[in-house]
Chains A and B, each alone.
Chain A
Amino acid sequence: MTHSPETPNTQLRLTINGEVVQLQNVSPSLTLLQYLQQSGRTGTKEGCGDGDCGACTVAIIGEDANGNPCYQAVNSCLIPLGAVAGREVVTVEGLAKDRLHPVQAAMVKTGGSQCGYCTPGFIMSMFAAYYDGKLDDAAVEGNLCRCTGYLPIRRAAQLAISSASGVANETANGAVNDSINGSINGSENADTHTAAIGLLNEFTNCALHGVDHESVDLFNSESDPFRQRLTAVTADLRSISYSTDQQQFYRPTELNHVLALLHQHPDATLVAGATDLGLEMSHHRRAFPVLISLEAVSDLKQIRRTEAGVEIGAAVPLSQIEANLHGVFPSLDEMLHWFAARQVRNRATIGGNIGTASPIGDLPPVLLALDAEVELVSAQGHRVMPLANFFKGYRQTDLQSGELIRAVHISTQITPSATRRFSQSYKVGKRGTDDISIVAAAFTVDLDAADQIVHARLSYGGVAATPVRAVQVEQMLIGQPWSWTTIQQVKPALQAAFTPLTDLRGTADYRRMLIGNLLEKFFVEINESQRINQAVHY
């Protein structure tokens, strides 16, 4: 690696709604939300301060899976100011200058706001998704609304999307027709797209007192200021070295610079997406004397695919993994779907999820079941170890002082003697979406031509002090037929393998039931989907 001669920037500067903001003697760990509110930008709300309600959602211009600029919804309550330095932030106040944005007009039209307190967050999630072209339920699953029951918000999303693209699918038609039927003229319109535009124009204009017409058309065209902004703006991710009286904040661009800083400040705190650390800043108001941001270290932000597998840089956000590796590992796809919500996935990184070593982290069980390896790097060199050996105890890892996770390696090869692999993951929470797991599990089995199990990985979260594999039971499965009887035979041993605890999410007893039941579920679902019933003996 070559050392960068780049002179670090000693100031924090960001753009909010097109306005450049220069920060002096402001704590780099002050959250973006706190800063917005302190500076009088009160449109963005704090609903929880924990990144769990989405009321504080803003959009930042980040990079999509192909490296192109895109709007990303993020929880401003979890983002330290330092992490967004050089970036452009759009808040709810920035959308409507003299006319409402289509997502705003649609929310007005469908009754998508009642008390209005969650609304700015919804608007910003919808705004980001509008430019993604993926304005669906998933775009707002990280936004809690206690008033509407979400139905008018769903209608608003459909209306806004219809106005944007002219998609004339059935649900969009329904939403638009529903709005038309209830509107002033009560007319039916065959063309959903035109109808949607008509509906929204009525609102974009009348709502802000008689500005020009064709508001929605504007947002459909090249001259949409927000589309223009995407192409006009490049994030300034230059190296930063910023200090206040009490804090130092570094944002290096090279890995060796990170390692040098770590060597220099052994107690420094590494920060990437800040979705976990941000809680400490937001909720617990902890200040960190030395922060090193991995935001701009390009070596940590690569996904590389080889013959043998994939390498995911530690600082790659989950939403990029979702997009880039879709279809490669079914169990990973599944878990990412249940992993927090869009705002968090846009920021949270794979390295962070592993490094925090929570027993209820969502990715470790999946990665354990895929025999993932972690690559650790320090000024002294680098080493690769199975993830299974990385977790040492409750929130303890094998990471040494001065060392960081560089990447995660996952093999795409199945056992040579096997003809096929089944792999899936499960997450059980009180609420399906955006919840912390009671138990998470991931399973991999490789079967040979005779339906004998030649390789098995059963891994769990939420059942022990660390994410963990049921190694003994895995061994019991080897050489056994892939059958309901086999599953029943190992189930007692599997349930005896761990001594889960009772906590607020679930009792030990329920966790024990899930440990066995999830393997049964895996078996049944695999069989249903593979239709290999004839090969199975019950």
Chain B
Amino acid sequence: MSGVGKRRSHESAVGHVTGKAVYTDEQRPPHGMLSVYPVLAPHAKARILEIDWTAAHQIPGCVTVLSAADVPGQNDTGVIVQDEPLFPTEISYWGQAVVWVVGETEQAAREAAAKVVVKYEPIEPILSIQAAVQAESFHTQPQVIRRGEPGLALAQAKHTLTGTVEMNGQDHFYLETQTSWVIPDGEGHYQVYASTQHPSETQTIVARVLGVPNNQVVVTCLRMGGGFGGKESQANPFAAVAAVAAHKTGRPVRIKLKRQHDMILTGKRHGFLGQYQVGFTADGQITALDLDLYCDGGWSLDLSPPVLLRAILHVDNAYYIPNLEVRGRIVKTNKASNTAFRGFGGPQGMIVMEDIVDRIARTLEIPPEVIRERNFYHGTGETNTTHYRQEIFDNRIARVWTEAKTKANFAERQAAVAQFNQANPYKKRGIAITPVKFGISFNKVQYNQAGALILVYTDGSIQLNHGGTEMGQGLHTKMLQVAATTLGVKIERFRMMPTSTDKVPNTSATAASSGSDLNGQAVKDACETIKSRLASVAANLLNLAPTALIFADDWIFCATDPSRRVTFTDVVQQAYNERISLSATGYYRTPEIFWDANTNTGKPFYYYAYGTAVSEVEVDGFTGTFKLRQVDIVHDVGESINSLVDRGQIEGGFVQGMGWLTMEELVWDEQGRFRSDAPSTYKIPTISEIPEHFEVHLLERAAQDGVIYGSKAVGEPPLMLAMSVREAIRAAVAAFGQANYVPLAAPATPEATLRAIECVRAHSRVPADSQLTASV
């Protein structure tokens, strides 16, 4: 059977492996489709003085050049505030698109784009968080959250430390770059095919730019070649450009960014800077935290406010901090506008905390994992309540942690690592264990709703629609399982339809790990409506009460006498004959959650997801390179709907997080030119970075009340398990000396790691040289 709880391959797996799965740009092209190509600005900040495209028109195949004058509606694609001109008058980051050239072919558009002459007046750009803070270049006012009396508690603390933690952003590097097709029907309507995680928002933005009501625009997402948050708001401007081109020319238009353009033009995970003062007791109990958290929004606001909020709400990670003040602020820099990326600020907040925890540990010379344990949320009431006043009613932190320690043989291996380090002066191993607690629900309460539409045909075949998009995470697979289980039919009966705004309106982004929770309930609701209608029909056919029926395996039968039965298809046919509707919508909104934006308190999360990872690394003291030797994970996915999909999310999320924290380095030069704009210069993990031993254990007996079939969200939380790799590298670096502070940059590239080693050697009580030569 293929219902809920079964390990089942991705619904498109056969399409994937045969190359037959169709992505946006691989549909059969409509007649006369045009392509667009951008003209990129060579300055990080500049006024545009003049644009001359006369030479472009001389290129054969150049159709037209798009500029602000061609926008029939509003020239803005901003999602929270309107601060994102599609065709700008001022350049706000290096590589920003000034105009777009439309060509009969991409090659023609490209050649014509090279002929567009733009005159600029360069302006001094702001290129770092520090520079922005200094220049008071902010997008927003500070967002402050406070608990207890942090000032007083710091003054009374036995120990205090101050420090800064800085981390780089991350490129999404979805394998399929941003893509949209816009097909005008000649009657003023637009069919948009977009690789978007948020079709309803793409619809809204395209309609806004075209100056038409939303109902004139249909946005359809077939499937995405990866998203990770990078196709939430970021898909919109490119769909909008194609829409403007389609409007102007009356012809179908496609846009598919070259990899380099995608990396230059689109926003990334936010870089963060944290400046903290922490107070703690002699045994490492944190008593107070005062934190300034700066988040690099880039040139426009995009989704930065909720990203920052999630960071602020996750600075505690798994730890109870009785007195705390966090002041968060979004800085405005001349970089691409940073955006959603798996974890959505949560990882950045948690990394600040884990950095602090490690520092406390080394200051007190207590093992980091002991400090972590001593600070876990625990008990009930205050010690189990977050700084935003949500009590963690389902606290599984200690349970997951203990299980991970056991499964990973943590104590034994820690001893083995120490032994290895004793014997090896030039390479050191490190082992670390880190927890994850991640809040599930969109912070924005109104996003926590979803819809579905089910269409049953008289032959018993079914089309299933829901508001979520498929980007590889297996949402459609899970939704099919939910539908098959709820209706008691075989999964082969269903055709999963592409996500489309003309089927389910006003959908939320497929984001915040919520896809399965929200859409699953909506699908279930729709199926239950159909089921209850069919039950009455079947009850008549079998001469039973509807409540006496069971739906299973394509049959509807008597619970007490299974031989009294009728096929699903027969009942469908009979329902049609009796003029009973065979289509139904489903709807869901998450209960209980609320948020007071004035006090920054409430219950923003319906529940929490938990995990713990143990990682072991070996670091080379000559080069700073590391090898990940072993990973053991215990993760809480509730009662898994599909363990194959869930493991895939855990493994994939972990490796993506490891890439962010160890090798993926975004590089801008001193003029703000983005230099890591290709896979030759921006390195995501390959298979060779994955250890032989990589064990994932799903927490058992973990059903979550009130969530679809007892499951839990799994998209984002596992990414943060990779903090264990960073902490393991730190542990290995620490073993090169005796320092009580191991400043390790993020990402911990070989260069950063070697610097940390040098720093540890320099600040060790044992001189570095004697360390080096001691035991050769």
Contact = CB atoms under 8 A, between A and B. Distances in A.
Max chain B C-beta neighbours (<10 A), residue from A52, A117, A149, A208: A149
Given A115-B174, A430-B749, 13 more contacts: A48-B259, A114-B10, A123-B17, A141-B686, A149-B685, A150-B686, A341-B686, A428-B625, A433-B687, A433-B688, A438-B751, A510-B754, A524-B776
A286 interface: no
Nearest to B12: A116
A147 B176 contact: no
A148 B689 contact: no
> Chain B binding site: helix, strand, loop or mixed by DSSP?
loop
A430 B750 contact: yes
Interface stretch (B584-592, B601-609, B652-660): B652-660
> Chain A binding site: helix, strand, loop or mixed by DSSP?
loop
Given A53-B679, A438-B750, A114 B472 contact: yes
B683 A104 contact: no
B623 A517 contact: yes
Nearest to A527: B776
Interface of B: 7, 9-10, 12-23, 26, 107, 110, 172-176, 223-228, 258-260, 426, 471-474, 620, 622-623, 625, 627, 643-645, 647-648, 651-656, 663, 665, 667, 669, 675-676, 678-681, 683-690, 692, 694, 749-751, 754-755, 758, 773, 776
Nearest to A117: B225
A149 B651 contact: yes
Contacts of A386: none
B694 A151 contact: yes
16 contacts: A46-B259, A48-B259, A92-B18, A100-B18, A111-B9, A111-B645, A117-B23, A144-B684, A144-B686, A146-B173, A146-B226, A207-B13, A430-B663, A505-B681, A517-B622, A520-B622
Interface of A: 42-50, 52-53, 55, 91-93, 95-96, 100, 104, 107-109, 111-120, 123, 137-138, 140-154, 171, 182-183, 203, 207-208, 283, 285, 341, 426, 428-436, 438, 484, 504-507, 510, 513-514, 517-518, 520-521, 524, 533, 538
Given A55-B175, A430-B683, A507-B751, A182 B15 contact: no
A137 B688 contact: yes
Contacts of A91: 19
A50 B17 contact: no
7 closest A-B pairs by CB: A43-B19, A115-B472, A117-B225, A116-B16, A149-B655, A114-B472, A92-B19
Nearest to A124: B19
B665 A430 contact: yes
A381 B750 CA distance: 47
B154 to A, nearest CB: 37
Max chain A C-beta neighbours (<10 A), residue from B21, B679, B684, B773: B679
B623 A521 contact: yes
Contacts of B675: 504
A428 B751 CA distance: 10
B690 A149 contact: yes
Given A44-B19, A116-B225, A432 B754 contact: no
B750 A428 contact: yes
A115 B226 contact: yes
B54 to A, nearest CB: 23
A53 B680 CA distance: 9
A112 B175 CA distance: 15
B19 A115 contact: no
Contact of A116 (B21, B228, B426, B754): B21
Contacts of A108: 9, 13-14, 17
B622 A117 contact: no
B18 A52 contact: no
B10 A48 contact: no
Nearest to B262: A48
Nearest to B225: A117
Contact of B648 (A49, A53, A109, A148): A148
A93 B26 CA distance: 14
A120 B19 contact: yes
A119 B648 CA distance: 15
Contacts of A144: 173, 175, 679, 684, 686
Given A114-B10, A435-B683, A521-B623, A285 B19 contact: no
B13 A113 contact: yes
Contacts of B20: 43, 93
Contacts of B692: 171
Contacts of A513: 754, 758
Nearest to A181: B7
B17 A113 contact: yes
A510 B751 contact: yes
B176 A50 contact: no
A383 to B, nearest CB: 34
Contacts of A518: 622-623
A109 B259 CA distance: 30
Max chain A C-beta neighbours (<10 A), residue from B19, B110, B260, B652: B19
Nearest to B623: A428
Contacts of A171: 692
A148 B686 contact: no
B245 to A, nearest CB: 21
A428 B663 CA distance: 12
A177 B653 CA distance: 24
